[in-house]
């Protein structure tokens, strides 16, 4: 079974500063990785995903993440944050199992990013 650990439950940062949200995963098979964002009292929106190919993945709103297989990590970064980036961010994983996991996602506990003016 897979598991996902988001290493920080809360990350406060000032506007225009860089930010990194950390995600580590555990799996006995290869995986696909996702980052989702959730604004208060809303559903989740996909930021980016890693399926294969380049380990540096670019997403929406200026976010990017790097897949590191040896460290089993998929950290999310943004070089300069805005107030509007304040939200909760979820890292998620699904097995790359030829379709047999039916796309089921395993989520981390979430990281609340708060951007201060």
Partner 1 sequence: DGGITQSPKYLFRKEGQNVTLSCEQNLNHDAMYWYRQDPGQGLRLIYYSQIVNDFQKGDIAEGYSVSREKKESFPLTVTSAQKNPTAFYLCASSIQGRDGSEQFFGPGTRLTVL
List residues binding partner 1 (CB under 8 A). Answer: 4, 9, 32, 34, 36, 41-46, 49, 51, 90, 92, 94-105, 107-110
Per-residue DSSP letter, 97: S
CB of 15 to partner 1, least distance (A): 26
**Pairing between strand 3-6 and 23-26?**
antiparallel
Q: With respect to partner 1, which residue has the nearer C-beta, 70 or 100?
A: 100
Identity of the residue, 15 or 86, whose beta carbon is nearer to partner 1 in the bound complex: 86
Cα–chain-centroid distance for residue 26?
14
Q: Where are the alpha helices (DSSP H) in 43-113?
A: none
CA Rg, the chain, in Å?
Answer: 14
Nearest residue to 45 (alpha-carbon basis) of 55, 60, 66, 57? 60
For the beta carbon of residue 33, count every other beta carbon within 10 angstroms: 23
Q: Closer to partner 1 by CB, 65 or 110: give it.
A: 110
Nearer to partner 1, 10 or 80 (CB): 10
Residue 91: CB minimum distance to partner 1, A:
9
CB of residue 39 to partner 1, shortest distance in Å: 10
Smallest distance from partner 1 to CB 3, Å: 11
């Amino acid at each position: 079974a897979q598991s996902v650990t988001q290493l920080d439950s809360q990350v406060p940062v000032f506007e225009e500063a860089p930010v990194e949200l950390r995600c580590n995963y555990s799996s006995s098979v290869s995986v696909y990785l996702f980052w989702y964002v959730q604004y208060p009292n809303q559903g989740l929106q996909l930021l980016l995903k890693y399926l294969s190919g380049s380990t540096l993945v670019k997403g929406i709103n200026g976010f990017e993440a790097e897949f590191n297989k040896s460290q089993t990590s998929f950290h999310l970064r943004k070089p300069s944050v805005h107030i509007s980036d304040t939200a909760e961010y979820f890292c998620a994983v699904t097995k790359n199992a030829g379709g047999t996991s039916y796309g089921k996602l395993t989520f981390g506990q979430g990281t609340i990013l708060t951007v201060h003016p």
